[in-house]
């Protein structure tokens, strides 16, 4: 957890802060301290980040540099479906079809994958499942990552 050691609470009060992340140079100027996260929006790019912070009090004292790790994840996961079974003509299957869903997320990791068949209630995906109902079937699916980014619903027939 990042904290202010420039002012121990009995001094002149917090005046400004500055920060950087992995590989970045310090922000050129001190930023007025606020309780809003506005300065943190300068930290970009998904993945594991190390954030370095310094605080300056009203007397001009500068804290030692503190740091903390964060995971920035703004992108949803990606899920693919693969179908396997005995194939007939014109992209039709002539027997049971096994559906396998595979999800990946490069930042926070996949939280869960869910699917439904022919508009029925959504189910959590834990293992491949079989479609054994003759005719056209619609499979909808999506994944959500650990940062709660939801992928758009995809469909396979």
Residue 52, classed as helix, strand or coil, is strand
Query: What confidence score (pLDDT) does residue 2 get?
Result: 44
Q: Are 63 and 55 in contact (CB under 8 A)?
A: yes
| Mode of pairing for the β-strands spanning 110-117 and 97-104 | unpaired
pLDDT of residue 50: 80
Q: What is the pLDDT of residue 42?
A: 59
pLDDT of residue 30: 57
Specify the residue for token string 């920035």. Answer: 72
Reduced to 3 states (helix: H, G, I; strand: E, B; else coil), residue 42 is: helix
pLDDT for 114 equals 98
Distance in angstroms between the alpha carbons of the first and the last residue of the chain: 48
Taking the chain (157 residues) in runs of 10, the rounded mean pLDDT of each run is 49 75 58 56 72 82 85 92 93 93 94 97 98 94 96 94
Query: β-strands 78-84, 123-124: how paired?
Result: unpaired
| pLDDT value of residue 27 | 52
CB neighbour list of residue 57: distance below 8 Å, 6 or more residues apart: 6, 7, 11, 12, 13, 14, 15
DSSP bridge pairs for 14: 57
Q: Provide the whole-model pTM.
A: 0.69
**Among the CATH numbers 3.40.50.300, 2.60.40.10, 3.40.50.720, 3.90.1170.10, which is that of 78-156?**
2.60.40.10
């Amino acid at each position: 957890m990042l904290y202010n050691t420039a002012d121990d609470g009995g001094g002149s009060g917090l005046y400004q802060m500055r920060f950087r992340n992995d590989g970045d140079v310090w922000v050129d100027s001190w930023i007025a301290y606020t309780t809003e996260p506005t300065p943190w929006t300068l930290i970009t790019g998904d993945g594991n980040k190390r954030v370095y912070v310094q605080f300056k009090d009203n007397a001009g004292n500068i804290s030692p540099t503190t740091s903390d790790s964060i995971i920035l994840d703004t992108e949803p996961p990606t899920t693919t479906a693969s179908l396997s079974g005995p194939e007939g003509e014109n992209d039709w299957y002539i027997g049971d079809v096994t559906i396998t869903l595979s999800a990946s997320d490069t930042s926070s990791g996949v939280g869960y994958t869910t699917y439904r068949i022919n508009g029925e209630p959504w189910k959590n995906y834990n293992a491949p499942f079989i479609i054994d109902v003759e005719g056209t079937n619609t499979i909808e699916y999506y994944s959500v990552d650990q940062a709660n980014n939801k992928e758009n619903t995809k469909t396979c027939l």
